[in-house]
Chain A
């Protein structure tokens, strides 16, 4: 790289960042103002590619964020439904080879995104103007700055078929050990969402994570005797629908969506607690500056109250902007935590601890389940 080119990059970036601040402030005030500000900004790309999960997840993102962003800026949003785990190595390879990454914005689990941040392939998002209006939940725990912006939280609840629990809903994860549920329960195939409550249900403490997870493994070994099915989000819906299972540890959004579609389902946060985690948005390194600018604008837009309200109404999840109105069916629901009291019943472990130990936990879980 020539000296001239080398020197020119920070200058351009500073000017771009300055304009982001100006545009963001306008966005926070009014959509019309934002439209005027955007007119002064760097060249608009024909489209911005946002990786997303399919089904109701992408529908909600489109309704809440993408459509309104297009309306404001005229930039089309293309949703790439490549699995989050599969887009990751593609992005990593693109950045390592100084190629343009395959997407502009990655909608990702915070745990997965943290891996990318630790690898250094994420753009810093600290300069997004709308961050100042967000709660602490938006900030990734254990990382410097904002390589990711968390956009909402979610809970791995105990979903159940009410007719299979005639004496009332389950109250504990230990209820999964009921002999009548043998072969009728499901967990994620890597145990995600279940490790931490299992630690408590197994008689251990959260403070022992990650040093001593033996209580979790002991409890999971007991659950193994119940011959659980192991799958991913779409599997749970199918299994409930086809009458294969009566209970599962899964994200409340999936249960709510299945319930909306007429499947007999409900959920609880058991007495041991349930894992609370976050998803977020991040931008891979290697984008041309104008595209980086507009990708940042997309995330900034996703942090506005209007966008969050529509997006997260669809998902039934609590956002990172204060003052959002919970969907009617989720008012006072433990899986829609909004107060400090609500969070006391939930288990939150830092993403950094999770990514550092994930491989070992997954292997251990699989060793038990596949043995």
Chain B
């Protein structure tokens, strides 16, 4: 006897068909491989990145022939020799690394109280304000933000106009190392706060209350309880800020007045201004290596922070 239509509705039949299609396309015995299959897009992306790096590595061992503007057929270490021995590249590399350390230090010092207040405040309005203030810069591109500083800090900018109200002559606030550091700190602050806030959230408030009840004032509690427990966030935030600062392009270009180049600016010049793809590649590879070594040292010294990997040193 045929079952009534209502006992096995049509949409069940559709699902049956879909199930059979899925079974054909991805048999049950493959189920264990599903997590690996989900990694395919990531693997592809990384593979493309590695392919680019391999290509760049190859170019880095070839020199530019200025009679033909073609790369040499032979391999040579000449680009690396230039990158490692010429004063210009050394001074730019030194400037980039020192700036990234300074920016990281300042950003963390500013970001920790911001994140702490955002996490611990009892006022929902204040929390919302701090969150909006944190996310608002993400809606404005880096270049626009840097341009904003040109308007505010320029010779005829708001700050100098304010100084003028008191009869003070205008001060050159832009186009120097300090301006670049300032611009980078402002750009990096939201990244740092976003990395530190989860670590602070994970610290039970009761621990701070316990420290208080044992006689520790707020400063001692902050120093001996909060900061050590927030270390994973500090390490992760520090790493993100340091690597982004080290490789930044727009802010040194816009706020540095052309005399405060970072490595990225120099690499750009090699690729696009002098058409020397070989030297540009060598500088890029060296920057990747130096950055990776720096990250490795930080992992070794401070652990991986909230970027923690199972089995890694805490």
CB within 8 Å of B: which A243-294 residues? 243-244
CB-defined contacts of A115 to chain B, threshold 8 Å = 69, 275
- The smallest beta-carbon distance between B274 and chain A, in angstroms, is 4
- The smallest beta-carbon distance between B272 and chain A, in angstroms, is 4
CA distance A230 to B272 in the complex (A): 17
Q: B257 at the A/B interface (Cβ < 8 Å)?
A: yes
CB-defined contacts of A118 to chain B, threshold 8 Å = 66-69
Known interface pairs A89-B271, A230-B257; A370-B92 also in contact (CB < 8 Å)? yes
Flag if A356 contacts B67 (CB, 8 Å). yes
CB-defined contacts of B172 to chain A, threshold 8 Å = 183
CB-defined contacts of B88 to chain A, threshold 8 Å = 363, 366-367, 370-371
Known interface pairs A243-B156, A370-B91; A229-B269 also in contact (CB < 8 Å)? no
- The smallest beta-carbon distance between A110 and chain B, in angstroms, is 15
CB within 8 Å of B: which A140-197 residues? 183, 189-190
CB within 8 Å of B: which A77-121 residues? 83, 85-86, 88-89, 115-116, 118-120
Flag if A229 contacts B275 (CB, 8 Å). no
- The smallest beta-carbon distance between A187 and chain B, in angstroms, is 8
- The smallest beta-carbon distance between A360 and chain B, in angstroms, is 9
CA distance A88 to B273 in the complex (A): 10
Flag if B66 contacts A356 (CB, 8 Å). yes
CA distance A144 to B44 in the complex (A): 47
Number of chain B residues close to chain A: CB under 8 A: 35
Flag if A119 contacts B70 (CB, 8 Å). yes
CB-defined contacts of A235 to chain B, threshold 8 Å = 258
Q: A61 at the A/B interface (Cβ < 8 Å)?
A: no
Q: A75 at the A/B interface (Cβ < 8 Å)?
A: no
Contact of A119 among B68, B95, B258, B274 (CB under 8 A): B68
Nearest B residue (CB) for A86: B272
Q: B154 at the A/B interface (Cβ < 8 Å)?
A: yes
Known interface pairs A120-B68, A229-B258; A359-B274 also in contact (CB < 8 Å)? yes
CB-defined contacts of A362 to chain B, threshold 8 Å = 269, 273-274
Q: B221 at the A/B interface (Cβ < 8 Å)?
A: no
Flag if A371 contacts B91 (CB, 8 Å). yes
Mask: chain B, 151-178; 1 = CB below 8 Å from A; 0 = not: 0001111000000000000001011000
CA distance A358 to B261 in the complex (A): 19
CA distance A104 to B273 in the complex (A): 22
Contact of A355 among B66, B70, B150 (CB under 8 A): B66
CB within 8 Å of A: which B224-272 residues? 257-261, 266, 269, 271-272
Nearest B residue (CB) for A364: B88
CB within 8 Å of B: which A198-238 residues? 227-231, 235, 238
Contact of A359 among B150, B259, B276 (CB under 8 A): B276
Q: A14 at the A/B interface (Cβ < 8 Å)?
A: no
- The smallest beta-carbon distance between B140 and chain A, in angstroms, is 20
Q: B24 at the A/B interface (Cβ < 8 Å)?
A: no
Q: A344 at the A/B interface (Cβ < 8 Å)?
A: no
Flag if B274 contacts A231 (CB, 8 Å). no
CB-defined contacts of A230 to chain B, threshold 8 Å = 257-259
Q: B86 at the A/B interface (Cβ < 8 Å)?
A: yes
Beyond contacts A243-B155, A367-B87, A370-B260: 7 other A-B pairs, Cβ-Cβ < 8 A, are: A118-B69, A119-B69, A357-B66, A363-B88, A366-B88, A370-B88, A370-B92
Q: List 28 A-B contacts (CB under 8 A).
A: A83-B272, A89-B271, A89-B275, A89-B277, A118-B67, A118-B68, A120-B68, A190-B269, A227-B259, A228-B259, A229-B259, A230-B257, A230-B258, A235-B258, A244-B175, A355-B66, A355-B69, A357-B66, A359-B279, A362-B269, A362-B274, A366-B88, A366-B261, A366-B266, A367-B88, A369-B259, A370-B88, A370-B92
> Would you list the 6 A-B pairs with minimal beta carbon distance, nearest first?
A230-B258, A367-B88, A189-B258, A119-B69, A359-B274, A85-B272
